[in-house]
Amino acid sequence: MFLSVVLLCLCIFFVILQLKSRRPKNFPPGPTILPIVGNLLQLNLENPLKDFERLRKTYGNVYSLFIGPRPAVFINGLKAMKEAMVTKGVEFAGRPQDMFNNEITENKGVILADYGPQWREHRRFALMTLRNFGLGKKSMEERIHDEIQHTIETLDKSIGKTMSPQVMFHNMSSNIICQVLFGTRYEYDDYFIKEVVRCFTENAKIANGPWVMLYDALPMIRNLPLPCNKAFENAKICKGLVNRLVSEHKKTRVPGEPRDFLDCYLDELAKAAEDSTFSEDKLILYALDLHFAGTDTTSNTLLTAFLYLISHPHIQERCHQEIDKVLGGKDQASFDDRNDMPYVQAVIHESQRIANTVPLSVFHTTTKDTELMGYSIPKGTMIIQNLTSLHNEEGQWKYPHEFNPENFLNDQGEFVKPEAFMPFSAGPRMCLGEGLARMELFLIMVTLLRKFKFIWPEDAGEPDFTPVYGVTLSPRPYRMKVQLRSSE
């Protein structure tokens, strides 16, 4: 009897020893790993930011955590980030597979596609298409200006009153992407855009929640009816909606005369070779991917910019002066005017630095065995870039911890961009919408500031600058007062 109990204990002991995940040799350091759950129990799954800060202090700029059995390496600070994303860009250009978000997008978009021919061809195609827009008869700038006119109508109705800008900026960014993708903007109460936005908002919330963290960490629970499964239904609804648009486009398009992104892709599909990675169902998820990537990011950046502009009136005033001086009697701003507006440029970049809109970028993986800061990292390891850590790194900024456009101005008042500025990340995976996003931020801010003055309402208390945690960070909801400048 005694012997069998001892034998049983020994067996259990060896089983546990087998299960215990261990860090590979010379792997970046981190806290002790428990079997099966890894470091999950040591994190606050609702908002792990505090835990991350503690870990960085203990283990340094490159440390590791086990999310279930899956190791993840966190990269902080410019030195490590440059080595990974720029010097060894290709070795760090993979994306994790077999996770919740991959299943939602069926590995067909570009954001989450692994490093390889499908990703490369689709990325190249999008970069080329976005560059050529001016698709058809309208330039990208005109498309953006058209949308701004609708926003001005909304603001005109609020003159002398306070309004909440959240939905306005969201509608605006969504519509600009829709213009590019589908050739139309959607009346703000349109069913199509309402449904797409609802599905994405819900899915973003789900993707960010504790259930998905568990889903990714513990493959054995995946067949259970988890609350996060709602996301699959939402994805199906969105796919159905875009599928309808693709069918319409197929009926009305003129080959060789694309009106929008869908037409371009259909043209490409028509001339595609046997072994091409292009296909119609990829188009649907690709379009959704781009809409998702371009909406919250841009609108949350705008929200942050306006929050700081209304709480720093002297900075807004300097923007007004520069805009008036450069535009003079001109009809409207063009993107080229940015070269004559160093101060406005500095304010936009400073807003992006402070906003940290995509704080942990999109997760990468290593595409082969590699090294970082002297540590060995095996192929397929998940890599998490901390972009925030660059944007407030001591030694990289004149004023790392305050909102101050001087961070982007030299002694002559010229615009300069420090190396540590990476809101779009860097390297082969860098945001492919950067060009479009820059154009939007500039034209929207200049046009709105030229016409209106935005004011923090007297009765609104002190502004709260702590962002709401999520895949993208956004400011807490706030209201602003709108005044026509000509009536000053």
Ligand X SMILES: *[C@@H]1O[C@H](CO)[C@@H](O)[C@H](O)[C@H]1NC(C)=O
Nearest-10 Cα torsion for 68, 70, 74, 75: -170
Stretch that binds ligand X, among 304-312, 347-355, 383-391, 470-478 (CB under 6 A): 383-391
Q: Is 171 in the site for ligand X (CB under 6 A)?
A: yes
Q: Is 111 in the site for ligand HEM (CB under 6 A)?
A: yes
Stretch that binds ligand X, among 64-72, 79-87, 315-323, 381-389 (CB under 6 A): 381-389
Report the C-alpha gap between 230 and 219 in whole angstroms. Answer: 18
Question: In the 8-state DSSP scheme, what is residue 208?
Answer: T
Q: Measured from the CB atom, is 151 or 158 closer to ligand HEM?
A: 151
Residue with tokens 């609350």: 227
Report the C-alpha gap between 39 and 212 in whole angstroms. Answer: 16
80: left (phi over 0), alpha (psi -120 to 50) or beta: alpha
CA torsion sign, 130 to 135 to 141 to 145? Answer: negative
Q: Is 110 in the site for ligand HEM (CB under 6 A)?
A: yes
Stretch that binds ligand X, among 14-22, 127-135, 187-195, 459-467 (CB under 6 A): 187-195
Number of residues that bind ligand X (CB under 6 A): 18
Q: Is 120 in the site for ligand HEM (CB under 6 A)?
A: no
Residue with tokens 């590979």: 24
Residue 110, phi then psi, degrees to nearest 5? -120, -30
**Residue span 22-61 as binding mask against ligand X, x where in contact by CB under 6 A, dash where not:** ---------------------------x--xx--x-----
Report the C-alpha gap between 179 and 162 in whole angstroms. Answer: 29
Q: Measured from the CB atom, is 52 or 403 closer to ligand X?
A: 52
Q: Which residues contact 254 (CB under 8 A, 6 or more apart)?
A: none
Q: Which of 148, 213, 377, 431 binds ligand HEM (CB under 6 A)?
A: 431
Q: Is 80 in the site for ligand HEM (CB under 6 A)?
A: no
Q: Measured from the CB atom, is 189 or 458 closer to ligand X?
A: 189
- Considering CB distances under 5 to 8 angstroms, the limit depending on partner class, which of ligand HEM, ligand X, none binds residue 432? ligand HEM
Q: Is 394 in the site for ligand X (CB under 6 A)?
A: no
Contact call for residues 284 and 167 (beta carbons, < 8 A): no
The CA–CA distances, whole Å, from 421 to 29, 49, 407, 437 equal 27, 21, 10, 15
Q: Is 197 in the site for ligand HEM (CB under 6 A)?
A: no
Stretch that binds ligand HEM, among 219-227, 269-277, 402-410, 422-430 (CB under 6 A): 422-430
Residues lying near ligand X in the complex (CB under 6 A) are found at 49, 52-53, 56, 74, 76, 154, 167-168, 171, 188-189, 193-194, 386, 388-389, 392
